[in-house]
Structure 1
Amino acid sequence: MKRPPRDVEGTHRKLSRRALLLGGMQAAFIGGLAMRMRYMQVDQADQFRLLAEENRVNIRLIPPTRGEVFDRNGAILGQNIPLYRIIIVREDAGDVDKVISDLSKLVALDPEEVERARAEMRRSPPFLPVTLAERVTWDDISKVAVNAPALPGITPEVGLTRVYPQGPDFAHVLGYVGPVSDYDLSQIEDPEPVLRIPRFQIGKVGVEAKRERQLRGKAGAKRVEVNATGRVMRELDRREGQQGADLQLSVDAELQEYVQARLGDESASAVVIDCETGDLRAISSAPTFDPNLFVRGISVADYRALTEDKYRPLANKTVQGTYPPGSTFKMITALAALEAGIVGPDDTVYCRGYLEVSSRRFHCWKRGGHGHVDLLNSLKRSCDVYYYDVALKVGIDRISEMARKFGLGVRHDLPMSAVASGLAPNRDWKSRVHGQDWLVGDTANASIGQGYMLASPLQLAVMTARLATGRSVSPRLVKSINGVEQTSGAGETIDVNENNLRKLRRAMFSVSNDRRGTAYGSRIIEDAFRLAGKTGTSQVRNITAAERAAGVIRNADLPWERRDHALFVCFAPYDNPKYAVSVVVEHGGGGSKAAAPVARDIMLQALFGGTPPLEAYPRKDRGRIEAQQERMKRERRPRARTDGKDRA
């Protein structure tokens, strides 16, 4: 059947429109393709020509500038300084031996460094730069730059490295940085690419390690054009990184220097804590070491000298060292008994030199005994028998609970390495750890800070600050980050009877200010700064019955490592506590002779904000103190500071 002419005409029109639409789309596609080809062949001809010659663009990291560290007053503790080095590119040098020989005529080269560089060149691609000399002077850099045409492959470079202007004073607090090692990378689950930059420095111990991420900052990046062998042709663009955060510590550099000097050559430690804020004003461990040696790369001889020293200079005794607290723990035992209502401040115990417990004698330090003693006299004269008797009535679990309430047996959160928890043992602990029942003899030992009881100097300072204030003072080391103040450690009121705390403070006052007190010789004369404290002597050896019968051997007659530890804790002023101080002298003997004078001197230095007047000391000590002050003034080195602005 024939279609009508009108239908045929309509069909032709539809086909024509479709053909035009399809043709238009084809034309647009071909036009776009032509424009793209023109863009690639004309506009981008140079770039693609380079690619055709097997060139490529790489993204390379730019190391961030490490944040700096300051004390509470703006004295700089850890800073970055320019590091001048000379590098060599084997590919460009040609005759490496000749170039090195020519360079040695201009710059003094360390033979060991040169050999290390040769070894590195042998295992590296020829186009990679290798450090030939590091920490050279600006004059050396100038000589190399002037003679560059005669030294092919040699290039002077400027970078940054860490230095510690205060030297040994802050070695245990700040720690130090060093190049990233394979071990460091193995300890990080997903290491950032910046850590793989050759000789990139990261914190190894101390604040440098614990606040590594904040101090490190964020790496920048640059796009560089490299050829097929990986050699850099040119830099295309650059995005700078983010500098690390600046930290301000709570420590006072001048007080820290004094404390370090006052500890001298002893194996000892001292902590000064602000009772109002919890700020650590000084935290010193002796002997110490120069952290700059580790940044530069410590020699085998220097490292061996540190590790073989029996006084353990690498150990931070303030937070790592844990010791039997000895009689400095007696306030905790007394407070546990007072809070439980088991004893009153006027109740007395008769001391005849020992207490019989389960057919065993627990001796007092005074062989003949103290007679009848109450709470005040038990602390003032440090009677052991009083605390044996009280502890057996109150029990170890209450004593342990009170110890933790006052910061013992608790790990304090500080950005320092290996902060110890100490130990405030109880029945459950001994059963869990040793699989044994707790004995009454264990309680007697713990009551005077012996046996299983362990505390660090930091914990003893915290305990003293809490006794002085009645608040749960917590130690703070980082005061601000990039100028932003960090949370105070002032703490809340502790749930104990304030009247009981007053009785203990009064007893501690008598220790230092009553003629029969064990620390009377280390008192402060200045009425406004009267000190309250407690001596401690922790035994490190067993005394046999035979030795006790014949007479206990004096510490001075024993080898150093068998002598007792000496301890002293104190706070001042008595009426309005500002600072608490703890001092531990390893194997120092008696706390009243070895530790109390050091703590008193440190306390006065803190209270006066510098050298105290001689009138603050007992008359008999003034000649010695004056000579000591003069010696320290002569030995004090200049302080490195910022632009002079107070960062407090």
Structure 2
Amino acid sequence: MRRSARDMDKVQRVLTRRTLLLGGIQAAFIGGLAMRMRYMQVDQADQFRLLAEENRINIRLIPPSRGELFDRNGAIIAQNTPSYRIVMVREDAGDVDAVVANLQRLIPLDPEELDRALAEMRRSPPFLPVTLADQISWEHISKVAVNAPALPGITPEVGLTRVYPQASDFAHVVGYVGPVSDYDLSQIQDPEPVLRIPRFQIGKVGLEAKQEDLLRGKAGAKRVEVNANGRVMRELDRREGKPGADLQLTVDSALQSYVQARLGQESAAAVVIDCETGDLRAIASAPSFDPNLFVRGISVADYRGLTEDPYRPLANKSVQGAYPPGSTFKMITAMAALEAGITNPEETVYCPGFLEVSNRRFHCWKRGGHGHMNLEESLEQSCDVYYYDVALKVGIDRISAMAEEFGLGVRHDIPMSAVARGLAPNRDWKARVHGQDWLVGDTANASIGQGFMLASPLQLAVMTARIATGRKVAPRLVKSIDGVEQPSGAGEPLAVNQANLRRLRKGMYAVSNNRRGTAYRSRILADDNRMAGKTGTSQVRNITAAERAAGVIRNEDLPWERRDHALFVCFAPFDNPRFAVSVVVEHGGGGSTAAAPIARDILLQALYDGFPPLESYPAKDRSRIEAQQERLRRELRPVTRPEDKDRA
């Protein structure tokens, strides 16, 4: 049936409307799609570019090169050496256990180190690289590189590790570095991101810890492109960090090595200070330890051996040890009395061998007494009664103030761990700390460096340098930072009468050079290097009245830990002091027999900048000294200088 023209026209109109509607819908869809594409490709381009790059580009921190340490002559004390290592990024590795298993088929991995690394990996962010093996050979590095496609997330790297060429010689001065621990992070407010890199090393003790901010430097960063397996394909760009500052110390490596060797296996400490500048030329504690053991984590057996040693090799006795100074304190008591006008150098005190104080006898070391003693004689023969007598007249408060003027009871500002303040007690201190009144007997004990009185070998060296120069010499350990010289420790003149100081020095000269002097056997014969000194012996036990009546037990007949400490302080040359030395030998017995010979040898070594001529020693000692020098020459550690490092 044919449709009419009217019907055809109607159908045509319907089709046209539907076509227009469909076309409009299509145009709207296409327009919306175009607008969305424009929005994503133009307006949101940066965001999607970043998302894409995050899938293929990693930003990794570049640990800074740690500042190196040198002695006063440029010899290397702490340096950075290249170290090959294997690191893993957990998020790039995928199946960590499978990748580690493949790695173990190629190179040997220490089980203990691997367990430690996997534990670090579990508690670290997945994007941080964790060291699986360190200080490995080039052969092993090559194997890993060749098999890279089978080891996703594994990267061989060349890093830097800390090495201490002088080993035990500087262990107590420099300390050591070690991996950052959770405890370390808890002690730092807002720690830098680089500190969160597993195995990143920071200073743990000693100068390494105290100068951490200077030595660490600032981290850099690099952008690397990785493939779908996490394998680094190329480095896109790099921003280098700032290396740590190089520090030059005041210590002389050759002298430090000699001092450490001369102390040997004694439980002892020695300090050598430059009288002119305050520079610490040597600062040693014995026995020592090898700080290289701590850099990558010391074994349980090695650490137990150090902690269980009764001679305490981990303790820095030179600055941390606080000992009764014994008779080395007598110069302070004498100076307090002279400055107060209580006595004069010619006034004498009679010594019958004891002094009655509050119904108690305070004994002199010489049982029969010394007879009449003036200042010089009392120092020369170390008469205790002389100092009991003048101390009771001058009082503890003046003695305490004089001790602080000469550097005792003061924490000296040097960048070493646990620097002791020592103790120069007075009435207020005892009332505050013990809640008790100060007794007359306390003053008698303090006058000869016993009782509450405490001093470190560093403080005793400073005291001696101040006596020798009449200036407030302050110890200095850091000579320069990145070549910038640090302030001298020469100091201003002491607030005392210089004439009184000269009388003290004369008494110390008699100790070493007069036949009755307690250190006469350790004298120096060279006229231009004559030594002035003072012996000291500090008790670590009480001697009962019954023991005195029966005869005091000799030190050599006592167990080691009950023997007296031996001390000696000295300076030379007498007329123009260059160096001051203090030596403490724990439980060494008498200062004249145990400490004075060591201090004399160290002082001569410093004066001659090497082994002194045998003519400097008394004739009867020369054959023994010659044998000793030969033995020490064999024990001294070679000194590494910068030119040696460059040549290597």
TM-score, normalised by the number of residues in structure 1: 0.89
Could you tell me which residue of structure 2 aligns to residue 528 of structure 1? 528
Amino acid at match of 1:504: L
What is the aligned length? 612
Amino acid at match of 1:78: A
Change (3 A) 1:120 1:539: closer
Change (3 A) 1:89 1:507: closer
Change in 2 beyond 3 A, CA 1:125/1:359: closer
Which residue matches 2:282? 282
Q: Deviations over 1:594-634 (max 9, x none)?
A: 00000000000000001111111111111111111111112
Counterpart code for 1:168: S
Q: Which sits farther off after the overlay, 411-420 or 121-130?
A: 121-130
For 1:518, the equivalent position in structure 2 comes to 518
What does residue 214 of structure 1 align with? 214
Name the residue aligned to 2:602. 602
Pair 1:501–1:117, CA change in 2 (3 A): closer
Counterpart contact for 1:320–1:420, Cα < 8 Å: yes
Deviation at 1:439, TM superposition (A): 0.8
Contact 1:127–1:231 (CA under 8 A) maintained in structure 2? no
In 2, distance between residues paired with 1:283 and 1:490?
A: 18
Cα displacement string for residues 508-533 of structure 1 (whole angstroms, at most 9, x for unaligned residues): 00100001100000000111100000
Q: Note if contact 2:92-2:229 (Cα within 8 Å) is conserved in structure 1.
A: no
1:101-250 correspondence to structure 2 within 5 Å = 103-104=103-104, 107-117=107-117, 129-148=129-148, 154-223=154-223, 235-250=235-250
Report the Cα distance in structure 1 between the residues aligned to 2:385 and 2:98, rounded to whole angstroms. 82
Distance of 1:244 and 1:124 partners within structure 2: 26
Structure 1 residues 502, 240: CA separation in 2 closer, same or farther (over 3 Å shift)?
same
1:87 shift after superposition: 3.2
Give the structure 1 partner of residue 13 of structure 2. Answer: none
Q: Cα 1:435–1:230, aligned 2, differ >3 Å: closer, same or farther?
A: farther
- Amino acid of the structure 1 residue aligned with 2:323: Y
Identity of aligned residues (%): 82
Confirm or deny that 1:431 pairs with 2:435. no
- Contact residue 54 and residue 227 of structure 1 kept, 8 A: no
In structure 1, distance between residues paired with 2:383 and 2:91? 79
Q: Which amino acid aligns with 1:576?
A: N
Q: Deviations over 1:159-203 (max 9, x none)?
A: 111111110100000011111111011111221222112211111
Q: Cα–Cα, structure 1 residues 40 and 576, in superposed 2: closer, same or farther, change >3 Å?
A: farther
Contact 1:588 1:594 in 2 (8 A): yes
In the alignment, which residue of structure 2 is the partner of 1:396? 396
Whole-angstrom CA distance in 2 between matches of 1:103 and 1:305 = 34
Residue range with higher mean Cα deviation, 305-314 or 628-637: 628-637
Supply the AA of the counterpart residue of 1:553.
Answer: I
Task: Please tell me whether the aligned partners of residues 152 and 231 of structure 2 are also in contact (alpha carbons under 8 angstroms).
Answer: no
CA pair 90-455 structure 1, distance change in 2 beyond 3 A: closer
Letter in 1 for 2:139: D
Q: Structure 2: how far apart are the matches of 1:565 and 1:386? A: 22
Q: Give the aligned partner of residue 591 of structure 1.
A: 591
Map of 2:619 onto structure 1: 619
Identify if the C-alpha distance between structure 1 residues 243 and 430 changes in structure 2 by more than 3 Å, giving closer, same or farther: same
Q: CA–CA distance in 2 between the matches of 1:349 and 1:123? A: 72
Give, in angstroms, the shift of residue 294 of structure 1: 0.6
SS at 1:436 equivalent: coil
Rounded Cα–Cα distance in structure 2 between residues aligned with 1:52 and 1:157: 27
The 1:299–1:349 alpha-carbon spacing in structure 2 relative to 1, beyond 3 Å, is same
**Is it true that 1:305 corresponds to 2:305 in the alignment?**
yes
Secondary structure of 1:643's aligned partner? helix
1:545 positional shift: 0.3
Q: Match for residue 632 of structure 2? A: 632
Partner of 1:483: 483
RMSD (Å), alpha carbons: 2.8
SS state of the match for residue 450, structure 2?
A: coil
Q: Does 1:365 align with 2:365?
A: yes
- Asked whether 1:256 is paired with 2:256, we answer yes
User: 2-side partners of 1:168 and 1:112: how far apart?
Assistant: 26
> Which whole-Å deviations, capped at 9, do the CAs of 1:380-439 have from their partners, x for residues lacking one?
000000000010111111111110000000110010011111000111111111111111
Contact 1:381/1:517 (8 A) holds in 2:
yes
* 1:565 corresponds to 2:577: no
Following superposition, the deviation at residue 115 of structure 1 comes to: 4.0
Residues 1:219 and 1:35: Cα distance change in structure 2 (over 3 Å): farther
Residues 42/428 of structure 1: CA separation in 2 closer, same or farther (3 Å cut): closer
Alignment of 1:471-510 (within 5 A): 471-510=471-510
Where in structure 1 are there 5+ consecutive unaligned residues? 1-33
Counterpart mapping for 1:265-276 below 5 A: 265-276=265-276
Which secondary structure state, in structure 2, belongs to the residue aligned with residue 463 of structure 1? helix
Question: 1:459 corresponds to which letter in structure 2?
Answer: Q
Deviations 1:339-381 (A, max 9, x none): 1111111111110000001110000000000011111110000
Q: Note the C-alpha offset of 1:292.
A: 0.6
What's the CA shift string for 1:202-238, capped at 9, x where partnerless? 1111110100000011112334578999997865432
Worse-superposed segment, 399-408 or 228-237: 228-237
1:67 counterpart residue number: 67
Letter of the aligned partner of 1:81 in structure 2? Answer: T
Q: Secondary structure at the match of 1:248?
A: strand
SS in 2 for 1:488: coil
- Contact 2:130-2:199 within 8 A present in 1 as well: no
Q: Which moved more, 1:154-163 or 1:110-119?
A: 110-119
Q: State the Cα deviation string for residues 92-134 of structure 1 (Å, max 9, x = none).
A: 7788777656655653432323444455566778876543321
Aligned to 1:451: 451
**CA, structure 1 residues 321+121, in 2 after alignment: closer, same or farther (shift >3 Å)?**
closer
- Tell me the secondary structure at the aligned position of residue 582 of structure 2: strand
Gaps of 5+ in 2: 1-33
Alignment check: 8 A CA contact 1:55 1:225 kept: no
Residues 469-496 of structure 1: CA distance to partner in whole angstroms, max 9, x if unpaired?
0000000000000000000000000111
Are the equivalent residues in 2 in contact too, given 1:323–1:455 (CA < 8 A)? yes
Structure 1 residue aligned with 2:347 = 347
**In structure 1, how many angstroms separate the alpha carbons of the residues matched to 2:118 and 2:406?**
59
How far 1:53 sits from its partner (Å)? 9.1
For 2:262, the aligned partner's letter is R
CA–CA distance in structure 2, aligned partners of residues 286 and 38 of structure 1:
76
Q: Is the 8 A contact 1:127 1:230 kept in 2?
A: no
* Contact 1:519 1:596 (8 Å CA) reproduced: yes
Return the alpha-carbon distance in structure 1 between the equivalents of residues 135 and 644 of structure 2: 28
With 235-244 and 416-425 compared, the bigger mean Cα shift is at 235-244
2:240 maps to a residue whose letter is: E
Contact 1:564 1:588 in 2 (8 A): yes
Distance 1:305 1:59, change over 3 A: same
